[in-house]
Each structure stands twice: as structure tokens, then as C-alpha cells.
Amino acid sequence: MVPKSHVPDILSPECDDQLLSELFSVIRSVAADVIKEHGSCRILTNLGGYQDSKHLHWHVVFGTPHADNYDQLAQEAIDDHRLGKTKVLRTKKDIHEYVRQAMS
């Protein structure tokens, strides 16, 4: 979920109670749909150094949380790619998918 107007993060002055109320109304609806279909979900946002996109946004995700060795698996995916052992890993999504497959 992303607000229509630019809001840097949840701590910025632009992120007032009205905006949060509107966002959480949508997040709540999406989360209910995800739980209905998958049985559980997580709602995430990042701040500071964890925030790759400097725009307030929320993730509603389901599935197994990252393994303890996720960082190691991600580095192995990057190393394998550099050695030509994998398909092109252009985005973080590609790396996450590669790691998810390695974990299963």
C-alpha cells in the first residue's frame, strides 16, 4: 500500500493521523483477504537504512519468514550469478525468489 501523495516515512510530518487511518483501512481489508486465502500474513514497513524506497509503503505478505541463514543464501545467489550458474538476477525480487527456492 502506497499513499497517493509523497510521504517519506511514517515518522514524517506528512504522515498524519488521517492518512494513517485511511492507509490502515486499506491494509486491514487486504490483510483480511490474504488471511482468508492463506491463513496468515505479516504487515511490514521499513524505516531509516532498511527503507530502500524513500516513500512510505506497506507490505502485506504471507508464507514462511526468512530463514536464519537468509543473508548467506542471498550472498550465495549473487555469487552463483556472478559465476554464471544462475539465470539473471536483476532485482531484489529475483534474489528473494532464488533464495526461497534454495530454502525449499
DSSP per-residue codes, the chain: ---SS----TTSTT--HHHHHHHHHHHHHHHHHHHHHHS--EEE---GGG-SSSS---EEE-SPPPPTTHHHHHHHHHHHHHTT-SS---SHHHHHHHHHHHH-
Question: Tell me, what's the pLDDT at 18?
Answer: 93
Question: Tell me, what's the pLDDT at 72?
Answer: 67
pTM of the model: 0.58
Question: Tell me, what's the pLDDT at 17?
Answer: 94
Query: Which residue(s) pair with 44 in the sheet?
Result: 59
pLDDT along the chain (104 residues), means of 10: 86 93 90 88 86 84 66 65 57 65 61
Specify the residue for cell string 536483476. Answer: 90
Question: Tell me, what's the pLDDT at 104?
Answer: 58
Number of CB atoms found within 10 A of residue 54's CB: 8
